Chains A and B, each alone.
Chain A
Amino acid sequence: MIASIFTAHDNRSTLLVAALSSGFGAVLLQGVSALETMMLVSEVGDRDSVRQMLFILVSVFFIIAVYVSGIVTANTVSTVIAGRVRSIALLRLIGASSGLLRRRIASEGLFAGMTGAVIGALVGTGLTFFILGVGIATSVIQPLPYKLLEPQSLVPALIVVFSTWFSSWIGSRRVAEVSPIEALGAAEERPMSEVGRNGRKATAIVLFTTGIALLIWGIVVGMEDVRGLPCCFIGGVVSFTGLVVGAIFLMPPVLATVGRAFSRNLASRLAVANALHHPERSARSAMALAIGVALVTTFAVALGTAQSMIFEVYGEDSFPILPIISSVVMVLVGFSGVIAATGMANALSSSVARRTRELGLLRALGLSSKHVRRMVVTESLHLTCASLAFGVPLGILYGWAGAQSLLGLRQHMTLVFPTIPWFFIAVAVFAVIAAVVPSRQAVQVEPIMALAVD
């Protein structure tokens, strides 16, 4: 068998993301099962329809989490391959076919996905048991014969395993672009012009325009019919996938514009220059977080818009439970935001690991470890701001479209912008967390690393 292409560090990020979504799925499913048990003893009128609604709600948020993890995983795999061009080219040179390498990478993804799914399911189940236990002990929750461990509890983990394997396979397409000749030269990441292949561009444009058309159609249909909402949902997912595919064309201009605000001192200039010098890698990192930002914004705007529409029609006191539902939904969506932030932290930390040589050089020439840390933090802030600039307008569009298609038939067109400061605070916190992990690594770089000859 050929040597492993990915290091333990590369697989660890895939594993972490799989664990997060599998754990999330386990908690959701077991939470619903516990609620069902509670409903059996309480007097809820239409038990079946409530159960169905809960199931749909939980599935939607789980699917969103799986979608985000899938994109993060595919991104991680492509980024790692982009950084390992030399060794992959060497394997190609001595006779490994790109199909073999892809299968190899996908099976490593499968293994990481399985491990992560099991860990996540165990931790998630443990968490549910813990919450139930504490709830019963403090008499908040009724002591009932809860059945948490049922065969269907395994479903989320299985979905996560499959999606991790599938997204590793999708991400490994990058292998086919590596030419064996690259093993002979000092292969660096390719400049933009060479990455920009027409196939990718065409796919991105087709997906995006189809999605936007569906979205508009959904809004129009939604004026008279409830079927507008699913149409908008599909349109949103399709158009966003188009943006993700086209990230390496769309993100660099955003990064360059945002970067201009940062060029104050040497550390931040180096950070911005580095992000712009590796457009493929930076675009992928920023896109991972942009997805999280867009999702959270979408739901915040949709809920806010829907709420103000409903209040306008039925009055302020009509549905006192509405703000509570909003908060629950935001927490559920926020989890996908956490997965996206994890994706960016991983991308940054692998970028630092790959720049050992350059950081060593700067240390040898006299950059203090404090400045190295500042440089990495700035890079992370730069990417975060770019993803905000990208994700927030999109989220506002999608969220408004969703609310409009759902409630448009009762309302004339109104657009309400909700103010959610805690969302931005959360993003800032994620950015700091995302920066801390890789910068600690960067500071450990010894100046002698610069002198090493490969």
Chain B
Amino acid sequence: MTETVPNSEFVARVENLSKHFGRGDATVTALDSVSLGIRSGEFTAIMGPSGSGKSTLMHIMAGLDRPSSGRAWVGDQEITGLADSELTALRRRHVGFVFQSFNLVSTLDIEENIVLPFELDGRQPTREEKAWLNTLMESLGLLDRLRHRPHELSGGQQQRVALARALGTRPHLVFADEPTGNLDSRAGREVLSLFSAASNGFDQAIIMVTHDPAAASHADRILFLGDGRVVEERGRSTAEEISSLVLAMERQS
């Protein structure tokens, strides 16, 4: 039995996390001894060029992939070393996802998509949870769309549905992978301010992977990854500050 470290300060954290792909001379180090913690109510952006390890970090923190070494926790639960079925249950109950390409289930209508995580857990939402879902759908402006199919909605609306689905189970943390990558800039801004509002208003931890400085400027905290390490960390910054930091980091490498 691995020792669990209860820590009320963080809803998710990793310690000395490393991930290597391949072996021998062809070994690629995607993550190199990364340690970080995420607090509830905090909207974190993870930035970095392609190949910096940001996707791998997210996959491991979300229980989608396993590290080569190091440990990871979601809530008080250590997730490194869990079996596939335990990881599946963990994702279902404690982790939410928002994807670049929305990834709603095209065969289900909007409401069914939002309730999906509960159904996957083999249960109906309780009365309390129903009230919460209602609050979510109302604040995201989805109440008049519940019977529509995903393809009948604009990209921005689909991403709101994805956010509602991710927040519905009140997970410890929500992962967003380039959530504005497929949206025009106005729809992208709207979605990002909803993320920011959800994080502060609902005390929800959100981690967003992005390479767009404008998107990262909505976050409370920005982590910069390079070559598998956290190379820089900033508080809330403007898009200009982030851009110049990214450019400076690129010049260094």
Tell me the A residues contacting B by CB distance below 8 Å: 188, 266, 270, 273-274, 276-277, 357-358, 361-369, 371, 446-448, 450-451, 453-454
Is B119 part of the contact surface with A, judged by Cβ < 8 Å? yes
At the interface, yes or no: B177 with Cβ under 8 Å from chain A?
Answer: yes
Chain B 36-70 interface 0/1 with A at a Cβ cutoff of 8 Å (1 = within) = 00000000000000000001000100101100000
Cα distance, A319 to B119, chains bound together (Å): 61
Structural contact, A448 and B59, CB atoms closer than 8 A? yes
Closest to A451 in B: B177
- CB pair A365–B117 under 8 Å, yes or no, is yes
Given contacts A266-B119, A368-B88, A448-B65, contact A362 B105 (CB under 8 A): yes
Is B100 a contact of A453 with CB atoms below 8 Å?
yes
Write out the residue numbers on chain B whose beta carbons fall within 8 Å of the beta carbon of A446. 64
Q: Are B105's CB and A270's CB within 8 A?
A: yes
Instruction: Tell me which residues across on chain B come within 8 A of A453, comparing CB atoms.
Output: 100-101, 178, 181
- Expressed in whole angstroms, the minimum distance between the Cβ of B137 and any Cβ of chain A is 18
B64 touching A365 by the CB < 8 A rule?
Answer: no
| Cβ of A274 to closest chain B Cβ, rounded Å | 5
Q: Is the CB of B59 within 8 A of A451?
A: yes
Q: How far is the CA of A363 from the CA of B120 in the complex (A)?
A: 10
Chain A CB within 8 A of B10 CB: no
Closest to B85 in A: A368
Q: For B91, give its contact among A273, A277, A366 (CB under 8 Å).
A: A366
Residue numbers in A under 8 Å from B93 (CB-CB):
366
Shortest C-beta distance, B53 to chain A (Å), equals: 15
Give every chain A residue within 8 A of B119 (Cβ-Cβ).
Answer: 266
Max chain B C-beta neighbours (<10 A), residue from A363, A364, A371: A364
A interface footprint on B75-88 (CB within 8 Å = 1, 0 otherwise): 00000000011001
Name B96's closest neighbour in chain A (CB-CB).
A365
Q: For the side of the interface on B, what is the size category?
A: 20 to 34
Q: With an 8 A cutoff between CB atoms, is B253 at the interface?
A: no
* Cβ-defined contact, B107 with A270, below 8 A: yes
Cβ distance B134 to chain A, nearest Cβ, rounded Å: 21
Q: In the complex, which residues of chain A have a beta carbon less than 8 angstroms from the beta carbon of B97?
A: 364-365, 450
Question: How far is A270 from B109 in the complex, measured between Cα atoms in Å?
Answer: 11
The proximity string for B residues 102-115 relative to A, scoring 1 for CB distances below 8 Å and 0 otherwise, is 01011110000000
Interface: B92 (CB within 8 A)? yes
- CB-nearest residue of chain B relative to A446? B64
In the bound complex, what is the Cα–Cα distance between A371 and B92 (angstroms)? 13
CA distance A447 to B177 in the complex (A): 14
A371 CA to B85 CA in the complex, in Å? Answer: 11
Interface residue SS majority, chain A:
helix
CA distance A433 to B88 in the complex (A): 28
**Distance of A357 Cα from B104 Cα, bound (Å):** 11
Q: A364-B91, A365-B92 are in contact. Are A358 and B105 (CB under 8 A)?
A: yes
Inter-chain CA distance A276–B109, complex, in Å, is 14
Contacts A266-B119, A451-B59; A277 near B88 (Cβ below 8 A):
no
> What distance in Å separates the Cβ of A182 from its nearest Cβ neighbour in chain B?
15
CB contact list, B144-181 vs A, under 8 A: 151, 165, 177-178, 181
* A364: chain B residues within 8 A (beta carbon): 62, 64, 91, 97
Interfacial chain A residues near B64, Cβ < 8 Å: 364, 446-448, 451
Residues of B within 8 A of A366 (CB): 88-89, 91-93, 117, 120-121
Measured CA separation A362–B107 after assembly (Å): 12
Best-surrounded residue of A273, A369, A447 (most CB of chain B within 10 A): A447
* Residues in A whose Cβ lies below 8 Å from that of B55: 451
Within 8 Å CB of A358, what residues of B?
A: 105-106
Is residue B230 within 8 Å, beta carbon to beta carbon, of the partner chain?
no
17 additional A-B pairs beyond A451-B99, A453-B100, beta carbons within 8 Å, are A273-B108, A274-B107, A364-B62, A364-B91, A365-B117, A366-B91, A366-B117, A366-B120, A367-B120, A368-B85, A368-B88, A447-B64, A448-B59, A448-B64, A450-B99, A450-B103, A451-B64
CB distance from A266 to the nearest CB of B (A): 4
- Shortest C-beta distance, A81 to chain B (Å), equals 20
Bound-complex Cα distance A435 to B120 (A) = 22
Mind listing 16 A-B residue pairs with CB under 8 Å?
A266-B116, A266-B119, A273-B107, A358-B106, A362-B120, A364-B62, A365-B91, A366-B93, A367-B92, A367-B120, A368-B85, A368-B88, A448-B64, A448-B65, A453-B101, A453-B181
A270: which B residues are within 8 A, CB to CB?
105, 107-108
Q: Which residue of A lies closest to B97 (CB)?
A: A364
Is the Cβ of A277 less than 8 Å from the Cβ of B116?
A: no
Q: List, in ascending order, chain A residues with CB within 8 A of B59's CB.
A: 448, 451
CB distance from B86 to the nearest CB of A (A): 10
Among B59, B88, B92, B122: residue with most chain A CB under 10 A? B88
Query: With a CB–CB cut-off of 8 A, which chain A residues contact B121?
Result: 366
With A and B bound together, what is the CA distance between A362 and B55 in angstroms? Answer: 19
- Does A277 lie within 8 Å of B107, measured CB to CB? yes
On chain B, the residues within 8 Å of A277 by CB distance are 106-107
Question: In the complex, what distance in Å separates the CA atom of A188 from the CA atom of B177?
Answer: 23
Q: Which of B88, B116, B117, B181 contacts A363 (CB 8 A)?
A: B88
Q: Which residues of B contact A369 (CB under 8 A)?
A: 84-85, 88
Q: Within the assembled complex, what's the spacing in Å between the Cα atoms of A188 and B103?
A: 14
Give the shortest distance, in Å, between B133 (CB) and chain A (any CB): 16
**Residue among A274, A366, A446 with max Cβ neighbours from chain B (10 Å):** A366
A367 touches B106 (CB 8 A): no
Q: How far is the CA of A277 from the CA of B108 in the complex (A)?
A: 9
**Across the two chains, which residue of chain A brings its CB closest to B106?**
A277
Q: Which residue of B lies closest to A366 (CB)?
A: B92
A266 touching B120, Cβ below 8 Å? yes
Cβ contacts under 8 Å, A365 to chain B: 91-92, 97, 116-117, 120, 165
Residues in B neighbouring A447, C-beta threshold 8 A = 64, 91
Report the bound CA distance from A451 to B108 in whole Å.
Answer: 19
* Docked-complex contact B103 and A357, CB < 8 angstroms: yes
In this complex, what residue of A is CB-closest to B166? A365
Which of B120, B177, B181 is the most central at the interface, judged by chain A CB atoms within 10 Å of its CB? Answer: B120
Closest 9 CB pairs of A and B: A366-B92, A273-B107, A277-B107, A266-B119, A366-B91, A366-B120, A361-B103, A447-B64, A368-B88
